């Protein structure tokens, strides 16, 4: 057979394959056309059969491509590229300098602008951030080393390797790790970090057979030297008034055992602690847990109105300092979570930017500044956010998603589906393979240290020796007319 004949036969074969595939595509399109026309659930596909399907495909693809190609550096929500990249750079531990000039628009209402000192301290005139005592009246007060710590994320919402990396990273950086409401697992402890045990409304990890608080279990947890404080969770910013939600596919045997619940069933916690109907009950609960554990006890909440909290402070004053919580953690309405109904996420709870100054003012008005520590959270993931919070009156800042970014989170927004592509919020072993705790813990530590270091840089720039010396006069807030006003004038 000549070369020409062979080429002709190959071409003929290719033409046949092409015609076959074309025929198949036409048949498929015809079948889809009929399916789309007949179905009644989707109006676009019913009116524009086959072509209407592309809308769904592009919508799904847009979610991915926007992040890479189309969204500007300061545009995305909940966190924009500039914020995420800062965490990424800090977590890699390299230099965190940028070139040419700021891409931040300084005219946007609410933007904090720090007040530089004409004569900032010289390098040998400032100190590093000092440790701060929490719960001076508890049998075992806690001397917390870092201003920036890891906020509650449960083992369940987070994967095993994520908890392991956080635990080791927290130890390396000297920051505390809050367990979130899912109980205490060996993975929290294995790194040797300071632990804040969160008591959620379902009392996971410290519950009896009926789901009530069990003092014996509390004592067992408190006996762990690493457990430094207990946080009673009233609410978190992403779902105030709603309990935790862990989908059934995430309730593995290990997670079920840690929480003390049946495996494979969705884990829904009550909307509030059954034994706490009002602030009086809450103070009783705080005092009880402190008595049983001997360690500092506080609570985490979201501010709906300042009026509500005033009642609490009046009550504390009335009872005397003994029943006061050792700390109050304020989570802003912008807080994140593994799973929450959208209306609660979007619409309920005051932003930390508004709530924190109000609570700090109330605390000071009642003379409780040295007794009750304030912990703030809610998208406070970059040094400027943390420095703002310290100026506003916080003693500590905690972050959840900042630390998720340090673990490699790409904001795929799939925490509730067990399909997290980075292995952080999934229990699928195939996806968890990507998250190597022995490597990632370094990034966690670098990020925590990086934030503290840069907050110290801001503090020195405004002319004080260390971050907690910053006051409201050190930050100006841009107003609607484009002019900035010192924060101490906004909240005298």
Ligand X SMILES: Cc1cc2nc3c(=O)[nH]c(=O)nc-3n(C[C@H](O)[C@H](O)[C@H](O)COP(=O)(O)O)c2cc1C
Q: Which of 90, 153, 196, 297 binds ligand X (CB under 6 A)?
A: 153
Q: Is 301 in the site for ligand X (CB under 6 A)?
A: no
Of residues 259 and 476, the one with the C-beta less far from ligand X: 259
Distance CA 315, CA 381 (A): 33
Min dist. Cβ of residue 306 to ligand X (A) = 20
Q: Is 377 in the site for ligand X (CB under 6 A)?
A: yes
Q: Is 293 in the site for ligand X (CB under 6 A)?
A: no
Min dist. Cβ of residue 302 to ligand X (A) = 9
CA dist list (Å): 293 to 120, 217, 337: 45, 10, 28
Of residues 36 and 231, the one with the C-beta less far from ligand X: 231
Q: How many CB atoms lie within 10 A of CB 461?
A: 16
User: Binding marks (x or -) toward ligand X, 230..269, rule CB under 6 A?
Assistant: ---x--xx------x-------------------------
Of 63-71, 152-160, 258-266, 440-448, the segment contacting ligand X by CB under 6 A is 152-160
User: Binding marks (x or -) toward ligand X, 415..454, rule CB under 6 A?
Assistant: x---------x-----------------------------
Q: Is 180 in the site for ligand X (CB under 6 A)?
A: yes
Q: Is 83 in the site for ligand X (CB under 6 A)?
A: no
Judged by CB under 6 A, the number of residues near ligand X is: 29
Residue that has been written with the tokens 């008034």 in this structure = 241
With a CB cutoff of 8 Å and minimum separation 6, the contacts of 430 are none
Of residues 165 and 462, the one with the C-beta less far from ligand X: 165
Min dist. Cβ of residue 281 to ligand X (A) = 19
Q: DSSP letter at 96?
A: -
Question: In a 10 Å sphere around its CB, with 0-12 CB exposed, 13-18 middle and 19+ buried, how is residue 287 labelled?
Answer: middle
Omega before 214 within 30 of 0, i.e. cis:
no
Q: Is 171 in the site for ligand X (CB under 6 A)?
A: no
Q: Is 379 in the site for ligand X (CB under 6 A)?
A: yes
Q: Is 335 in the site for ligand X (CB under 6 A)?
A: yes
Length of the chain: 492
- b/e map 208-237, b = 16+ CB within 10 Å: eeebebbeebbeebbeeebbbbbbbbbbbb
Q: Is 185 in the site for ligand X (CB under 6 A)?
A: no
Distance CA 445, CA 170 (A): 6
Q: Which of 165, 221, 381, 389 binds ligand X (CB under 6 A)?
A: 381
Residue that has been written with the tokens 């987070």 in this structure = 158
Question: In sequence order, what E strands does 207-289 have?
Answer: 227-233, 245-246, 267-268
Q: Is 152 in the site for ligand X (CB under 6 A)?
A: yes
Of residues 171 and 406, the one with the C-beta less far from ligand X: 406
Tokens standing for 380?
């406070």
Tokens standing for 452?
């503290």
Residues in contact with ligand X by CB under 6 A are 151-154, 157, 180-182, 198, 233, 236-237, 244, 300, 331, 335-338, 377-379, 381, 399-402, 415, 425
């Amino acid at each position: 057979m000549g070369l020409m004949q062979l080429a002709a036969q190959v071409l003929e074969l290719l033409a046949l394959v092409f015609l076959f595939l074309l025929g198949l595509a036409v048949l498929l399109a015809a079948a889809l056309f009929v399916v789309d026309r007949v179905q009644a659930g989707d109006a676009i596909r019913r009116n524009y059969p086959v072509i209407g399907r592309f809308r769904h495909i592009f919508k799904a693809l847009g979610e991915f491509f926007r992040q890479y190609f189309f969204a500007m550096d300061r545009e995305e929500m909940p966190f924009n590229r500039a914020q995420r990249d800062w965490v990424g750079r800090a977590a890699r531990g390299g230099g965190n300098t940028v070139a040419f000039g700021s891409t931040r628009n300084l005219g946007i209402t609410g933007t904090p602008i720090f007040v530089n000192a004409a004569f900032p301290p010289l390098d040998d005139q400032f100190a590093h951030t000092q440790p701060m005592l929490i719960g001076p009246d508890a049998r075992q007060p806690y001397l917390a080393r870092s201003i920036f710590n890891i906020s509650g994320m449960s083992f369940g919402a987070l994967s095993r390797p994520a908890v392991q990396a956080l635990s080791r990273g927290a130890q390396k950086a000297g920051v505390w790790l809050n367990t979130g409401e899912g109980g205490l697992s060996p993975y929290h402890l294995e790194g040797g970090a300071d632990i804040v045990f969160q008591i959620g409304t379902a009392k996971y990890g410290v519950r009896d057979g009926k789901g009530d608080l069990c003092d014996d279990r509390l004592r067992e947890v408190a006996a762990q030297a690493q457990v430094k404080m207990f946080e009673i969770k009233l609410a978190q910013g992403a779902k105030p008034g709603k309990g935790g939600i862990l989908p059934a596919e995430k309730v593995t045997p290990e997670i079920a055992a840690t929480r003390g619940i049946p495996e494979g069933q969705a884990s829904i916690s009550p909307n509030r602690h059954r034994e706490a109907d009002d602030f009086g009950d809450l103070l009783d609960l705080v005092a009880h847990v402190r008595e049983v554990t001997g360690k500092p006890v506080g609570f985490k909440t979201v501010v709906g109105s300042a009026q509500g909290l005033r009642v609490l402070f009046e009550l504390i004053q009335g009872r005397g300092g003994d029943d006061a919580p050792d700390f109050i953690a304020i989570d802003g309405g912008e807080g994140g979570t593994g799973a929450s109904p959208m209306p609660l996420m979007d619409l309920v709870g005051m932003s930390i930017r508004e709530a924190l100054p109000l609570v700090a003012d109330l605390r000071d008005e009642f003379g409780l500044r040295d007794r009750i520590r304030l912990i703030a959270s809610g998208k406070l993931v970059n040094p400027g956010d943390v420095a703002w919070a310290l100026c506003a009156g916080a003693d500590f800042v905690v972050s959840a998603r900042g630390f998720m970014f340090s673990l490699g989170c790409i904001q795929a927004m799939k925490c509730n589906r067990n399909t997290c592509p980075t292995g952080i919020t999934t229990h699928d072993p195939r996806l968890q393979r990507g998250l190597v705790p022995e490597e990632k813990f370094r990034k966690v530590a670098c990020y925590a240290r990086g934030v503290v270091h840069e907050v110290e840089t801001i503090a020195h720039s405004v002319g004080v020796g260390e971050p907690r010396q910053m006051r409201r006069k050190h930050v100006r807030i841009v107003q609607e007319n484009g002019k900035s006003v010192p924060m101490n004038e906004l909240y005298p």
